[in-house]
Chains A and B, each alone.
Chain A
Amino acid sequence: MGIIKTSKLVFEYIRRDEEGNVEGITRAVDEVDIDVKQGDFVAILGHNGSGKSTLAKHINAILYPTEGTVWVDGMDTTDEKRLWDIRQNAGMVFQNPDNQIIGQVVEEDVGFGPENMGVPTAEIWERVEESLKAVGMYEFRKHSPNKLSGGQKQRVSIAGVIAMHPKCIILDEPTAMLDPNGRKEVIRAVRALNAAEGITVVLITHYMEEIIHADKVFVMDKGKVAMEGTPREIFSQVEHLKELRLDVPQVTLLAHELKKSGVKLPDGILSKEELIEALIKR
């Protein structure tokens, strides 16, 4: 069993009218089985309403399954006694950077998680320093978060999570509200954490460029896992991705179109360099 495992996970939103009568039930997550290995970089992909954020909230025990089970590091998320262990082990970064920064100074915000866990004062300072250095925000430690750019704020949020020393971090569309530069910054920081510290990363996104470096990709649609595999395996199925209303990176699309019109190329080209090489070799 990996660090995160779900078995036949089902989650239903119940819609009620004003009197509290059940109006309808929406299955946001429908019998999902995923298994994430320690140290992996996993991406979960899907368009709006595919259930990917709902799935993420189960890993942090913010939502509980209607049916099925979620295990984080071997702990069942419905086990109330382990709730704080689960939340400490599975850190979560949300979409809107403004709505998750609590402190009025960068370093105070990073210290918020360890403070809640009851870490002694001296160790909090060590953790804050090391986490801010890990995301490259150490020189901003005395700044007010209001004066940082979106990408910088999001890196502070990530530092706030890793100061809790989690085994994995779940990022729920961390780049959705950022400009292209901010997006690059954040993804670079996340990849560095995964490579250098061996923290398991679950990245939820709808930007295709961000999943190229993942070890494994899950594509979700209507609450179910529609596709599963390495980025190359996923991107070689351009038609299927289009059916799921997902965009393919431009290079991959170009290679796909070339292939359709008779140019011999390998499947699942992910970068410009690869395409150039494949074209020269021909």
Chain B
Amino acid sequence: MLRDITLGQYYQADSVIHKLDPRVKLIATITFIISLFIVQNFVGYIVAALFLVLAIKLSKVPFRFMVKGMRAIVFLLMITVVFNLFLTPGEALITVWKITITKEGLRTAVFMAIRLIFLIIGSSVMTLTTTPNSLTDGMEKLMNPLKKIRVPVHEVAMMMSIALRFIPILLEETDKIMKAQIARGADFESGNLIKKAKSLVPLLVPLFISAFRRANDLAMAMEARCYRGGDHRTKMKPLKYKRRDAAAYGMLVCYFALCIVANIII
């Protein structure tokens, strides 16, 4: 049940993309997103689509898992398309009663839709092939230079990984408190929105108290095991670039160059 939920949406498979260094995947995703906003014509989108298809094929993750992430943005996607379609001024294409669809409107609507879809699928490729843990590791390593301007990089990464570890525990606890309250006649189901929100108070208060108690215990346990921040710390699983990571970076640079070229030439 709650205990078995998987965090993030990691899909276990043995592929090149899975084995890549998390830093490569993070940078690649960011580059891909930037490229989507640089590209202004269809040729550029074809290049992006090819890149995405290649990544999906290499990742060995079934395509339906990628599409799953789309469900969350269907509403956003529809609003974007509708607004762009009907509210962009320009050369009229079809006019029905008072509503006009312009050529420019159609163009931006399609572009926006493609952009959003690619954005979601692109980042899904990363989250599906990387465990939350190695993602945090990668972020910590990437942001390391920020330490010079006193950004607490290690601390933030540590907090993220502790949060990831405690989400299932707190979920289980919520479940337990909820059942205890239901057993004593609490009603979480019926009533309007305000009533429902009010009924959550007796759930949240004990949950917060127990979370703080856990935090206190955990801090003590960490100190007892010699935790003293990021300095002097060694890594059990240090991140090291391998050959395939260099190859991936090479491909990424080629892709980005291609996007720019497509933009300038056409």
Question: Which residues of A does B touch, CB under 8 Å?
Answer: 60, 62, 84, 87-88, 91-92, 94, 96, 98-105, 107-108, 111-121, 124-125, 128, 145-147, 160-161, 164
Contact = CB atoms under 8 A, between A and B. Distances in A.
A183 B222 CA distance: 24
Contacts of A147: 3
B217 interface: yes
A118 B231 CA distance: 9
A103 B165 contact: yes
A118 B226 CA distance: 10
A178 to B, nearest CB: 16
A146 B161 contact: no
Interface residues of B, number: 28
If over half of A's interface residues share one DSSP class (helix, strand or loop), that class is named, otherwise mixed; here it is helix
26 contacts: A60-B224, A62-B220, A84-B226, A87-B224, A91-B225, A94-B217, A94-B224, A96-B214, A101-B165, A104-B132, A104-B161, A107-B236, A108-B237, A111-B236, A112-B225, A113-B225, A114-B234, A115-B234, A119-B234, A120-B234, A121-B236, A121-B237, A121-B238, A128-B236, A145-B165, A160-B225
Interface string B219-249: 0111111111000111111100000000000
Contacts of B225: 87, 91, 102, 112-113, 116, 160-161, 164
Contacts of A100: 217-218, 221
Contacts of B223: 62, 87
A5 B27 CA distance: 55
Contact of A116 (B168, B228, B237): B228
Nearest to A145: B165
Given A99-B214, A102-B162, A113-B226, A124 B234 contact: yes
B116 interface: no
The 8 closest A-B pairs by CB, nearest first: A100-B221, A99-B217, A111-B236, A92-B224, A116-B226, A113-B225, A118-B232, A124-B236
A137 to B, nearest CB: 16
A104 B166 CA distance: 9
A108 B236 contact: yes
A146 B169 contact: yes
Contact of B235 (A92, A115, A128): A115
